[in-house]
Amino acid sequence: MDEKNAQNGQKNNVIEVAAPPEEIMDMKTLLEQEGLGLGNLPQRGEIRTGIITTILPQEILVDVQAKADGIIAGYEFDDISKEVRETFKVGDEISVYVVTPEDRNGNVVLSYIKAQTEKDWAKMEALLESGETIETVIDGFNKGGLLVPVGQLRGFVPGSQISVFREEAGKNAKDRWAHLIGEKIILKVIEVERGRKRLVLSERDAIGETRETIKEMLLAELEVGDVVSGYVSSLADFGAFVNIQGIDGLVHISELAWEHVKHPRDVVKVGEEIEVKVISLDKKERRIGLSLRALQADPWMEIVKNITEGQLVQGTVMNITDFGVFAQVEGTELEGLVHISELSEQRIKHPKEVVNVGDTMPLRVTSIDGKRHRIGLSLTKVHDPRYASQDLEMLKAELETEEQTKNNEVQEAEIEAPPDEVESEE
Protein backbone atom coordinates (compact mmCIF):
# COMPACT_ATOMS: atom_id res chain seq x y z
CA MET A 1 0.00 0.00 0.00
CA ASP A 2 2.82 2.43 0.92
CA GLU A 3 4.65 1.63 -2.28
CA LYS A 4 1.49 2.30 -4.28
CA ASN A 5 0.92 5.68 -2.60
CA ALA A 6 4.55 6.60 -3.18
CA GLN A 7 4.18 5.81 -6.85
CA ASN A 8 1.01 7.93 -7.06
CA GLY A 9 2.82 10.82 -5.32
CA GLN A 10 5.64 10.68 -7.80
CA LYS A 11 3.09 10.77 -10.64
CA ASN A 12 1.30 13.74 -9.03
CA ASN A 13 4.61 15.64 -8.72
CA VAL A 14 5.39 15.08 -12.35
CA ILE A 15 1.94 16.32 -13.40
CA GLU A 16 2.21 19.57 -11.32
CA VAL A 17 5.61 20.53 -12.75
CA ALA A 18 4.96 19.69 -16.36
CA ALA A 19 2.28 22.24 -17.29
CA PRO A 20 1.15 22.25 -20.95
CA PRO A 21 3.28 24.48 -23.18
CA GLU A 22 0.25 26.43 -24.39
CA GLU A 23 -0.63 27.50 -20.80
CA ILE A 24 2.90 28.90 -20.23
CA MET A 25 2.70 30.88 -23.48
CA ASP A 26 -0.67 32.32 -22.51
CA MET A 27 0.66 33.53 -19.15
CA LYS A 28 3.71 35.18 -20.78
CA THR A 29 1.47 36.92 -23.30
CA LEU A 30 -0.82 38.17 -20.52
CA LEU A 31 2.10 39.61 -18.53
CA GLU A 32 3.43 41.44 -21.55
CA GLN A 33 -0.03 42.79 -22.38
CA GLU A 34 -0.36 44.13 -18.85
CA GLY A 35 3.11 45.71 -18.91
CA LEU A 36 4.50 43.16 -16.44
CA GLY A 37 7.07 41.53 -18.66
CA LEU A 38 10.31 41.15 -16.69
CA GLY A 39 12.28 43.02 -19.35
CA ASN A 40 9.87 45.99 -19.43
CA LEU A 41 9.76 47.12 -15.79
CA PRO A 42 10.68 50.84 -15.32
CA GLN A 43 14.10 51.44 -13.78
CA ARG A 44 15.06 54.45 -11.66
CA GLY A 45 16.94 57.01 -13.80
CA GLU A 46 15.67 55.53 -17.06
CA ILE A 47 14.39 57.81 -19.81
CA ARG A 48 11.30 56.41 -21.52
CA THR A 49 9.09 57.52 -24.36
CA GLY A 50 5.45 57.49 -23.27
CA ILE A 51 2.00 58.48 -24.48
CA ILE A 52 -0.03 61.16 -22.65
CA THR A 53 -3.30 59.53 -21.57
CA THR A 54 -4.79 62.17 -19.25
CA ILE A 55 -4.20 65.86 -18.59
CA LEU A 56 -5.56 67.19 -15.29
CA PRO A 57 -5.18 70.65 -13.65
CA GLN A 58 -2.37 69.42 -11.34
CA GLU A 59 -1.04 66.26 -12.96
CA ILE A 60 -0.38 64.47 -16.21
CA LEU A 61 -0.74 60.70 -16.72
CA VAL A 62 1.60 58.98 -19.16
CA ASP A 63 1.52 55.43 -20.46
CA VAL A 64 5.08 54.13 -20.16
CA GLN A 65 4.24 50.46 -20.75
CA ALA A 66 4.20 49.61 -17.03
CA LYS A 67 1.50 47.91 -14.97
CA ALA A 68 0.10 51.38 -14.23
CA ASP A 69 0.28 54.79 -15.89
CA GLY A 70 3.14 57.03 -14.85
CA ILE A 71 2.34 60.32 -13.18
CA ILE A 72 3.84 63.80 -13.44
CA ALA A 73 2.63 65.75 -10.44
CA GLY A 74 3.67 67.99 -7.54
CA TYR A 75 6.85 70.04 -8.00
CA GLU A 76 7.68 68.08 -11.17
CA PHE A 77 4.43 69.34 -12.69
CA ASP A 78 5.06 72.91 -11.48
CA ASP A 79 8.56 72.92 -12.98
CA ILE A 80 7.07 72.66 -16.47
CA SER A 81 6.34 76.14 -17.76
CA LYS A 82 2.74 77.01 -18.50
CA GLU A 83 3.65 77.63 -22.15
CA VAL A 84 5.05 74.09 -22.51
CA ARG A 85 2.13 72.46 -20.66
CA GLU A 86 -0.31 74.14 -23.00
CA THR A 87 1.33 72.38 -25.96
CA PHE A 88 0.67 68.91 -24.48
CA LYS A 89 -2.28 66.96 -25.88
CA VAL A 90 -3.70 63.53 -25.06
CA GLY A 91 -2.10 61.05 -27.42
CA ASP A 92 1.15 63.04 -27.70
CA GLU A 93 4.42 61.16 -27.37
CA ILE A 94 6.84 62.63 -24.80
CA SER A 95 10.10 61.65 -23.13
CA VAL A 96 10.02 61.21 -19.35
CA TYR A 97 12.53 60.38 -16.63
CA VAL A 98 11.68 57.61 -14.14
CA VAL A 99 12.03 59.16 -10.67
CA THR A 100 10.45 56.28 -8.73
CA PRO A 101 9.50 52.93 -10.40
CA GLU A 102 6.67 52.44 -7.90
CA ASP A 103 5.55 54.67 -5.04
CA ARG A 104 3.38 53.57 -2.10
CA ASN A 105 0.28 54.07 -4.23
CA GLY A 106 1.67 51.87 -6.98
CA ASN A 107 2.32 54.77 -9.37
CA VAL A 108 5.39 55.26 -11.54
CA VAL A 109 6.62 58.78 -10.65
CA LEU A 110 7.91 60.63 -13.71
CA SER A 111 9.70 63.87 -14.54
CA TYR A 112 9.48 65.67 -17.87
CA ILE A 113 12.07 68.32 -16.88
CA LYS A 114 14.72 65.78 -15.88
CA ALA A 115 14.24 63.91 -19.14
CA GLN A 116 14.83 67.12 -21.09
CA THR A 117 17.81 67.97 -18.88
CA GLU A 118 19.46 64.60 -19.48
CA LYS A 119 18.88 65.01 -23.21
CA ASP A 120 20.47 68.47 -23.07
CA TRP A 121 23.53 67.11 -21.26
CA ALA A 122 23.89 64.42 -23.91
CA LYS A 123 23.58 67.09 -26.60
CA MET A 124 26.26 69.27 -24.94
CA GLU A 125 28.63 66.31 -24.76
CA ALA A 126 28.05 65.68 -28.45
CA LEU A 127 28.69 69.36 -29.26
CA LEU A 128 31.89 69.27 -27.24
CA GLU A 129 33.07 66.42 -29.45
CA SER A 130 31.89 67.90 -32.76
CA GLY A 131 32.90 71.52 -32.09
CA GLU A 132 29.62 72.84 -33.54
CA THR A 133 28.23 76.12 -32.25
CA ILE A 134 24.88 77.04 -30.72
CA GLU A 135 22.93 80.29 -30.46
CA THR A 136 21.20 81.47 -27.30
CA VAL A 137 20.37 84.70 -25.44
CA ILE A 138 22.28 86.32 -22.57
CA ASP A 139 20.00 86.43 -19.55
CA GLY A 140 22.32 87.12 -16.63
CA PHE A 141 25.84 87.76 -15.36
CA ASN A 142 28.03 87.52 -12.28
CA LYS A 143 31.44 88.91 -11.39
CA GLY A 144 33.11 86.21 -13.50
CA GLY A 145 31.15 86.40 -16.74
CA LEU A 146 27.83 85.83 -18.51
CA LEU A 147 25.00 83.36 -17.82
CA VAL A 148 23.02 81.82 -20.67
CA PRO A 149 20.16 79.28 -20.94
CA VAL A 150 20.86 76.17 -23.01
CA GLY A 151 17.64 74.17 -23.06
CA GLN A 152 17.04 73.19 -19.43
CA LEU A 153 20.70 73.87 -18.56
CA ARG A 154 22.46 76.98 -17.30
CA GLY A 155 25.68 77.75 -19.14
CA PHE A 156 28.53 80.03 -18.08
CA VAL A 157 30.69 82.17 -20.37
CA PRO A 158 33.82 83.35 -18.47
CA GLY A 159 34.93 86.93 -18.98
CA SER A 160 38.05 85.68 -20.74
CA GLN A 161 35.83 83.91 -23.32
CA ILE A 162 33.59 86.87 -24.13
CA SER A 163 34.35 88.83 -27.28
CA VAL A 164 36.49 91.82 -26.33
CA PHE A 165 34.31 94.01 -28.49
CA ARG A 166 31.23 93.39 -26.32
CA GLU A 167 32.67 94.58 -23.03
CA GLU A 168 32.09 98.13 -21.79
CA ALA A 169 34.49 99.96 -19.50
CA GLY A 170 33.70 99.75 -15.80
CA LYS A 171 35.02 98.71 -12.43
CA ASN A 172 32.39 96.05 -11.76
CA ALA A 173 30.46 93.35 -13.60
CA LYS A 174 27.31 95.47 -13.85
CA ASP A 175 29.16 98.25 -15.65
CA ARG A 176 30.78 95.83 -18.07
CA TRP A 177 27.97 93.38 -18.87
CA ALA A 178 24.54 94.60 -17.76
CA HIS A 179 23.91 96.18 -21.18
CA LEU A 180 24.25 92.75 -22.81
CA ILE A 181 21.11 91.25 -21.20
CA GLY A 182 18.73 90.10 -23.94
CA GLU A 183 21.34 90.05 -26.70
CA LYS A 184 21.84 86.97 -28.86
CA ILE A 185 25.17 85.19 -28.63
CA ILE A 186 26.86 82.41 -30.60
CA LEU A 187 28.81 79.97 -28.42
CA LYS A 188 31.00 76.91 -28.55
CA VAL A 189 31.00 74.25 -25.79
CA ILE A 190 34.47 74.02 -24.20
CA GLU A 191 33.76 72.11 -20.95
CA VAL A 192 31.04 69.68 -19.81
CA GLU A 193 30.90 68.08 -16.33
CA ARG A 194 27.47 66.52 -15.91
CA GLY A 195 28.16 65.34 -12.35
CA ARG A 196 29.05 68.86 -11.20
CA LYS A 197 26.38 70.44 -13.42
CA ARG A 198 29.13 72.49 -15.05
CA LEU A 199 28.72 73.78 -18.58
CA VAL A 200 31.31 76.29 -19.87
CA LEU A 201 31.05 77.99 -23.25
CA SER A 202 33.14 80.38 -25.32
CA GLU A 203 32.13 83.18 -27.65
CA ARG A 204 35.71 83.79 -28.76
CA ASP A 205 36.14 80.19 -29.90
CA ALA A 206 32.76 80.28 -31.63
CA ILE A 207 33.59 83.32 -33.76
CA GLY A 208 37.28 82.47 -34.22
CA GLU A 209 38.44 85.43 -32.17
CA THR A 210 42.02 84.44 -31.42
CA ARG A 211 44.53 86.61 -29.62
CA GLU A 212 46.17 87.49 -32.92
CA THR A 213 42.93 88.53 -34.63
CA ILE A 214 42.01 90.63 -31.60
CA LYS A 215 45.38 92.34 -31.70
CA GLU A 216 45.08 93.03 -35.41
CA MET A 217 41.60 94.52 -35.07
CA LEU A 218 42.52 96.62 -32.05
CA LEU A 219 45.71 97.96 -33.60
CA ALA A 220 43.78 98.88 -36.73
CA GLU A 221 41.32 100.96 -34.70
CA LEU A 222 43.65 102.53 -32.12
CA GLU A 223 45.09 105.99 -32.61
CA VAL A 224 47.60 108.03 -30.62
CA GLY A 225 45.61 110.21 -28.23
CA ASP A 226 42.85 107.64 -27.62
CA VAL A 227 41.78 107.09 -24.01
CA VAL A 228 41.07 103.41 -23.25
CA SER A 229 40.28 101.22 -20.25
CA GLY A 230 42.28 98.16 -19.26
CA TYR A 231 43.43 95.93 -16.42
CA VAL A 232 46.91 95.92 -14.93
CA SER A 233 48.12 92.46 -15.96
CA SER A 234 51.68 92.49 -14.55
CA LEU A 235 54.35 94.74 -13.06
CA ALA A 236 58.06 95.12 -13.84
CA ASP A 237 60.75 97.41 -12.46
CA PHE A 238 60.49 99.58 -15.57
CA GLY A 239 56.70 99.89 -15.71
CA ALA A 240 53.24 98.29 -15.71
CA PHE A 241 51.60 96.18 -18.42
CA VAL A 242 47.94 96.98 -19.02
CA ASN A 243 45.64 94.52 -20.81
CA ILE A 244 43.44 96.35 -23.28
CA GLN A 245 40.76 94.15 -24.83
CA GLY A 246 43.01 91.12 -24.71
CA ILE A 247 46.41 92.60 -25.58
CA ASP A 248 49.07 94.27 -23.42
CA GLY A 249 50.37 97.81 -23.65
CA LEU A 250 53.18 99.28 -21.53
CA VAL A 251 52.95 102.21 -19.13
CA HIS A 252 56.59 103.14 -18.55
CA ILE A 253 57.45 104.03 -14.97
CA SER A 254 57.97 107.64 -16.05
CA GLU A 255 54.38 107.75 -17.33
CA LEU A 256 52.73 106.46 -14.14
CA ALA A 257 52.69 109.79 -12.28
CA TRP A 258 54.04 113.32 -12.45
CA GLU A 259 56.08 112.84 -9.30
CA HIS A 260 59.04 110.47 -9.07
CA VAL A 261 58.00 106.81 -8.74
CA LYS A 262 60.38 104.26 -7.19
CA HIS A 263 58.41 101.20 -8.33
CA PRO A 264 55.13 100.72 -10.24
CA ARG A 265 53.60 98.91 -7.24
CA ASP A 266 53.56 102.27 -5.45
CA VAL A 267 50.99 103.53 -7.96
CA VAL A 268 49.03 100.55 -9.34
CA LYS A 269 48.36 96.91 -8.48
CA VAL A 270 47.77 93.80 -10.57
CA GLY A 271 44.08 93.36 -11.43
CA GLU A 272 43.24 97.03 -11.01
CA GLU A 273 41.18 98.63 -13.75
CA ILE A 274 42.56 101.96 -14.98
CA GLU A 275 42.10 104.44 -17.80
CA VAL A 276 45.19 105.21 -19.86
CA LYS A 277 46.06 107.34 -22.85
CA VAL A 278 47.72 105.97 -25.97
CA ILE A 279 50.93 107.99 -26.44
CA SER A 280 52.74 105.81 -28.99
CA LEU A 281 51.73 103.13 -31.45
CA ASP A 282 53.99 100.90 -33.50
CA LYS A 283 51.61 98.86 -35.66
CA LYS A 284 54.46 97.09 -37.43
CA GLU A 285 56.06 95.86 -34.21
CA ARG A 286 52.64 95.66 -32.49
CA ARG A 287 53.66 97.79 -29.53
CA ILE A 288 51.40 100.15 -27.61
CA GLY A 289 52.81 102.89 -25.38
CA LEU A 290 50.44 104.10 -22.67
CA SER A 291 50.37 106.86 -20.08
CA LEU A 292 48.53 107.17 -16.80
CA ARG A 293 49.88 110.59 -15.87
CA ALA A 294 48.69 112.10 -19.17
CA LEU A 295 45.15 111.89 -17.78
CA GLN A 296 46.10 113.58 -14.52
CA ALA A 297 46.36 117.31 -13.87
CA ASP A 298 49.93 118.48 -14.35
CA PRO A 299 50.98 119.97 -10.99
CA TRP A 300 53.81 121.87 -12.69
CA MET A 301 51.35 123.77 -14.87
CA GLU A 302 49.30 124.61 -11.79
CA ILE A 303 52.38 126.14 -10.17
CA VAL A 304 53.37 128.25 -13.18
CA LYS A 305 49.86 129.45 -14.03
CA ASN A 306 50.57 132.78 -12.33
CA ILE A 307 53.96 133.24 -13.99
CA THR A 308 54.32 134.79 -17.45
CA GLU A 309 57.19 135.31 -19.82
CA GLY A 310 58.92 138.64 -19.19
CA GLN A 311 57.88 138.72 -15.54
CA LEU A 312 60.38 139.76 -12.85
CA VAL A 313 60.83 137.27 -10.00
CA GLN A 314 63.11 136.77 -7.04
CA GLY A 315 65.38 133.74 -7.40
CA THR A 316 67.74 131.92 -5.04
CA VAL A 317 70.75 130.09 -6.47
CA MET A 318 70.40 126.40 -5.57
CA ASN A 319 73.04 124.78 -7.80
CA ILE A 320 75.93 125.87 -10.03
CA THR A 321 77.10 124.01 -13.13
CA ASP A 322 79.58 124.78 -15.90
CA PHE A 323 76.78 125.91 -18.22
CA GLY A 324 74.79 128.01 -15.77
CA VAL A 325 72.97 128.09 -12.43
CA PHE A 326 69.63 126.73 -11.22
CA ALA A 327 67.64 129.21 -9.20
CA GLN A 328 64.44 128.56 -7.23
CA VAL A 329 61.66 131.05 -7.89
CA GLU A 330 60.57 132.68 -4.64
CA GLY A 331 57.26 131.43 -3.29
CA THR A 332 57.34 128.25 -5.39
CA GLU A 333 59.18 124.97 -5.72
CA LEU A 334 60.13 125.75 -9.29
CA GLU A 335 63.73 125.86 -10.35
CA GLY A 336 64.69 127.68 -13.51
CA LEU A 337 67.94 127.73 -15.44
CA VAL A 338 70.00 130.90 -15.80
CA HIS A 339 72.30 130.03 -18.67
CA ILE A 340 75.90 131.26 -18.34
CA SER A 341 75.24 133.63 -21.24
CA GLU A 342 72.41 135.24 -19.21
CA LEU A 343 74.53 135.91 -16.09
CA SER A 344 76.67 138.79 -17.32
CA GLU A 345 77.04 141.22 -20.20
CA GLN A 346 80.76 140.36 -20.24
CA ARG A 347 82.09 136.97 -21.26
CA ILE A 348 82.80 134.75 -18.24
CA LYS A 349 84.44 131.34 -18.00
CA HIS A 350 82.37 130.03 -15.08
CA PRO A 351 79.16 131.10 -13.29
CA LYS A 352 81.08 131.27 -9.97
CA GLU A 353 82.63 134.48 -11.23
CA VAL A 354 79.23 136.14 -10.85
CA VAL A 355 77.13 134.26 -8.25
CA ASN A 356 77.37 131.84 -5.33
CA VAL A 357 75.01 129.17 -4.00
CA GLY A 358 72.45 130.87 -1.71
CA ASP A 359 72.52 134.25 -3.46
CA THR A 360 69.09 135.85 -3.94
CA MET A 361 68.56 138.26 -6.81
CA PRO A 362 65.94 139.61 -9.22
CA LEU A 363 65.61 137.55 -12.40
CA ARG A 364 63.50 137.83 -15.51
CA VAL A 365 61.48 134.91 -16.87
CA THR A 366 62.51 134.49 -20.51
CA SER A 367 60.73 131.23 -21.41
CA ILE A 368 58.21 128.70 -20.07
CA ASP A 369 58.32 125.21 -21.63
CA GLY A 370 55.26 123.34 -20.33
CA LYS A 371 56.05 120.19 -22.29
CA ARG A 372 59.53 119.76 -20.84
CA HIS A 373 58.77 121.50 -17.53
CA ARG A 374 61.51 124.08 -17.91
CA ILE A 375 61.77 127.77 -17.10
CA GLY A 376 64.42 130.01 -18.60
CA LEU A 377 65.68 132.90 -16.40
CA SER A 378 67.98 135.82 -17.05
CA LEU A 379 70.01 138.16 -14.88
CA THR A 380 71.22 140.35 -17.74
CA LYS A 381 67.66 141.17 -18.91
CA VAL A 382 66.43 142.41 -15.52
CA HIS A 383 66.95 146.04 -16.63
CA ASP A 384 66.35 145.48 -20.34
CA PRO A 385 64.35 148.49 -21.63
CA ARG A 386 62.42 146.21 -23.99
CA TYR A 387 60.48 145.01 -20.97
CA ALA A 388 59.85 148.51 -19.52
CA SER A 389 56.18 148.77 -20.56
CA GLN A 390 55.50 145.24 -19.34
CA ASP A 391 57.18 145.98 -16.01
CA LEU A 392 55.06 149.13 -15.64
CA GLU A 393 51.84 147.25 -16.30
CA MET A 394 52.79 144.52 -13.83
CA LEU A 395 53.69 147.12 -11.20
CA LYS A 396 50.29 148.79 -11.61
CA ALA A 397 48.57 145.43 -11.29
CA GLU A 398 50.52 144.65 -8.12
CA LEU A 399 49.66 148.03 -6.57
CA GLU A 400 45.98 147.60 -7.42
CA THR A 401 46.01 144.14 -5.89
CA GLU A 402 47.65 145.43 -2.72
CA GLU A 403 45.14 148.29 -2.47
CA GLN A 404 42.21 145.93 -2.95
CA THR A 405 43.58 143.58 -0.31
CA LYS A 406 43.89 146.45 2.21
CA ASN A 407 40.31 147.58 1.51
CA ASN A 408 39.01 144.07 2.00
CA GLU A 409 40.86 143.75 5.32
CA VAL A 410 39.37 147.03 6.57
CA GLN A 411 35.85 145.97 5.60
CA GLU A 412 36.24 142.62 7.31
CA ALA A 413 37.56 144.31 10.48
CA GLU A 414 34.55 146.67 10.58
CA ILE A 415 32.10 143.79 10.16
CA GLU A 416 33.74 141.69 12.87
CA ALA A 417 34.20 144.53 15.42
CA PRO A 418 31.62 144.60 18.33
CA PRO A 419 29.02 147.45 18.16
CA ASP A 420 30.30 149.21 21.31
CA GLU A 421 33.85 149.35 19.91
CA VAL A 422 32.54 150.88 16.70
CA GLU A 423 30.59 153.54 18.66
CA SER A 424 33.58 154.39 20.87
CA GLU A 425 35.72 154.94 17.78
CA GLU A 426 33.12 157.33 16.40
Whether residues 268 and 311 fall in one domain: no
pLDDT at 30 over 70: no
Query: Is the pLDDT score of 13 beyond 50?
Result: no
Asked if 286 and 313 sit in the same domain, the reply is no
The whole-angstrom separation of Cα 248 and Cα 37 is: 68
Q: What stretch of H or E contains 101? A: none
pLDDT score at 25: 46
Mean of per-residue pLDDT scores for the chain = 82
Domain contains 271: yes
What pLDDT, on a 0 to 100 scale, did the predictor assign at position 239? 94
pLDDT, tens digit, for every residue of 389-398?
777 877 777 6
Cα–Cα distance for residue pair 127/189, rounded to 1 Å = 6
Q: Choose one of 272, 295, 318: the last residue of a domain.
A: 295
**Mean pLDDT in residue range 196-221:** 82
Three-class SS of residue 262? coil
pLDDT of 155-178, one tens digit each? 999 988 888 777 665 557 777 788
Q: What percentage of the chain has pLDDT greater than the value 70?
A: 83
Nearest alpha-carbon partner for 115 in 156, 76, 154: 76
DSSP notation for 120-166: HHHHHHHHHHH--EEEEE--EEETTEEEEEETTEEEEEEGGGS-TTT
Domain co-membership, 47 together with 110:
yes
Say yes or no to pLDDT of 3 above 80. no
Judge if 306 and 290 occupy the same domain.
no
Let me know whether 327 and 267 are in one domain.
Answer: no
In a domain, 247, yes or no: yes
User: Considering only 35-39, 139-143, 296-300, 316-320, which range has the smallest mean pLDDT?
Assistant: 35-39
Residue 323's domain comprises 300-383
The verdict on residue 32 lying in a domain is no
CA distance 164 to 400: 60
Q: How many domains is the chain partitioned into structurally? A: 4
Same domain, 91 and 164: no
Domain boundary among 117, 145, 178: 117
Whether 96 and 138 share a structural domain: no
Does 126 fall in a domain? no
pTM score: 0.45
CA nearest neighbour of 219 among 179, 292, 164, 170 = 164
Question: Which among 94, 117, 140 is the end of a domain?
Answer: 117
Measured distance CA(144)–CA(260) in Å, rounded: 36
Task: Report the CATH number at residue 309.
Answer: 2.40.50.140
Q: Express each pLDDT in 351-379 by its tens digit.
A: 999 999 999 999 999 999 988 889 999 99
Predicted pLDDT of residue 416: 63
What does the DSSP assignment read for 110-123?
EEHHHHHHHHHHHH
- Whether 377 and 305 map to the same domain: the answer is yes
Query: What is the C-alpha to C-alpha distance for residues 210 and 246, in angstroms, rounded to an integer?
Result: 10
